[in-house]
Amino acid sequence: MEATAAVMERERLTAEMAFPPAPAVGGGDKKPPPSIVIKIRRRLPDFARSVNLKYVKLGLLSAGFPSPSTSLTLATPVMAAAAAACYYYASFFNLNLDINVAATCATWLCLAALLLAVTYLNRPRPVYLVEFACYKPAGNEHEITKSEFLDMAESTGFFNTEALEFQTKITRRSGLGDRTYLPPGIQSRPPRLSMVEARAEAEAVMFGCLDSLFAATGIDPTRDIGILVVNCSLFNPTPSLASMVVNRYKMREDVKSFNLGGMGCSAGLIAVDLARDLLQANADSLAVVVSTENITLNWYFGNDRSMLLSNCIFRMGGAAAVLSNRRADARRAKYRLLHTVRTHKGAADECYRCVYQREDGGGRVGVSLARELMAVAGDALKTNITTQGPLVLPLAEQLKFLKSLVLRRVLRARGARPYIPDFRRAFDHFCVHAGGRAVLDEVQRSLSLGDGDMEASKCTLHRFGNTSSSSLWYELAYAEAKGRVRRGHRVWQIGFGSGFKCNSAVWLALRDVPPVCAGDEEDGERRRMRCNPWVDSVESYPPKAYM
């Protein structure tokens, strides 16, 4: 038993026993002994068990602990001030100063002024999120209910009985609602799987949210956009998706375009991080980030259960955002980017292969989700939030953590447990990637979050399904649609992706964002509402039965 308990602890497994009622034998009152059902579940790690100080150090360095060059820059003004003070008091008391001392004081003052000027000119440029838009088809176009999805799967004739039963069970437990979207190539009977259909899906999603974004901001894409980053994991045509955007909007010849592929559901935050670095290196620039995923050519028509999960939860969607480093945009921007933290666990084989595109036994290509996915995701999440702690936590929380650290590592106090900070004191809004209901429930449990903290993520999963890297923007749009975003609020976006990666971004709200509602608003308000995909359904969320 001890060996079994050790294995379950190492593999992060939990066991649940159930005693279903047994039927009577022969119609009489005598019943056989009740059967025992044992369910083994993989759960996220208990973050209160241990804290890896290596990642705390990474966070401290990211928080701005001074490097030697920075220390010199900061020390020089202090030394110059001291030299100036000595010279002043010597002159005040009529002390005789050597000419070299006076020259030294003057030199220090000039050097201090020079270094301060260099530091000011080389300071990081603030990066603003001016506006973002999420894709939503017009009306009921491309909508599909859960029953229609199951009928569609059965009508294709590709799935055996066991595969259909598995998809039925997963669909009913997935947390998806009856208004998600699938591209027409998949919904057609028989399915139309071609490059033409895949391009049509990509164009509908990318151009749909970009048209709304440019209309709402008044940005002219032909002359204003200097940086373009597009991310899509599984569809990488030639010319690239980024080139499709450049061609559609006739962007400048010197636009810096990037196309990120194969980076999973967390690629949206990687794209934001890349855009931020490019904006730091290019003054007075606008960057557009487009995050999407393509379903048409990546639907799985085999019977491998590990690959059928993606069919049940992934749906059509995308988002686009305008980032700026122009100080003039601070007046109209919604958010300022505070931090990005990226965690990559790909060095470990079990992490690298837990989300893996491969062929099944019949030669059909699909994305396989390993049984270890929950444990891998939990480990990556733990590393990410441990690194991020020094960047975002209030001073009181950091002092409590420091106290527990001293008790355990310095004083060797018995029974002293590590203090796990309360991240609800650091953030006002949580946008956790809507990868699936089980994932969201485990994240909520592990971080001790309330139902209100997870409302945006769970409602996004219910209304739009798993839209891959763009799901974080649907969740932020939900908070805005409800009118909950206020000036000074902090937003935490965190996504998981193949590789295995866990990436996060922290935004500071620069102004109150009014709620959206259907009605006759002014032209500017209508354009803003077209960016928000919740305008026609936010009043019906959250569904009481779902939350």
Beta bridge partners of residue 133, listed in sequence order: 320
Q: Closest Cα to residue 330, out of 476, 505, 510, 489? A: 510
Strand 256-260 with 227-231, pairing = parallel
Catalytic site includes residue 489: no
Catalytic site includes residue 265: yes
Cβ pair 384, 345 in contact under 8 A:
no
Beta bridge partners of residue 143, listed in sequence order: 181
End-to-end CA distance of the chain: 38
- Residue 380 and residue 23: Cα distance in Å, rounded? 46
Residue 46 C-beta-side C-alpha neighbours within 13 Å: 12
Beta bridge partners of residue 501, listed in sequence order: 344, 497
Active-site pick, 259, 294, 311, 466:
466
Active-site pick, 282, 339, 344, 517:
344
Active-site pick, 105, 142, 259, 429:
429
What the block records as the tokens of 176 is: 């998806």
Active-site pick, 134, 209, 232, 265:
265
Active-site pick, 354, 433, 489, 531:
433
Catalytic site includes residue 344: yes
Catalytic site includes residue 339: no
Max Cα–Cα distance, the chain, nearest Å: 117
Active-site pick, 384, 462, 489, 503:
462
Which three-class secondary structure state does DSSP give residue 17?
strand
Cα dihedral 143→149→151→154 (10° resolution): 140
DSSP letters along 94-145, please?
Answer: T----HHHHHHHHHHHHHHHHHHHHHHHTSPPP-EEEEEEE---STTTTEE-
Instruction: Give the dihedral sign, CA 197/198/204/205.
Output: positive
CB burial readout 114-130, b (16+ within 10 A) else e: ebeeeeeeeeebbbbbb
What the block records as the tokens of 471 is: 């799901």
Catalytic site includes residue 298: no
Beta bridge partners of residue 432, listed in sequence order: 494
Catalytic site includes residue 100: no
Strand 37-42 with 318-324, pairing = unpaired
Cα angle 410-414-419, degrees, rounded to a multiple of 5: 70
CA distances 291 to 33, 186, 228, 320, 427, Å, are 56, 21, 11, 6, 24
Instruction: Give the dihedral sign, CA 422/428/430/431.
Output: negative
Residues belonging to the active site:
265, 344, 429, 433, 462, 466
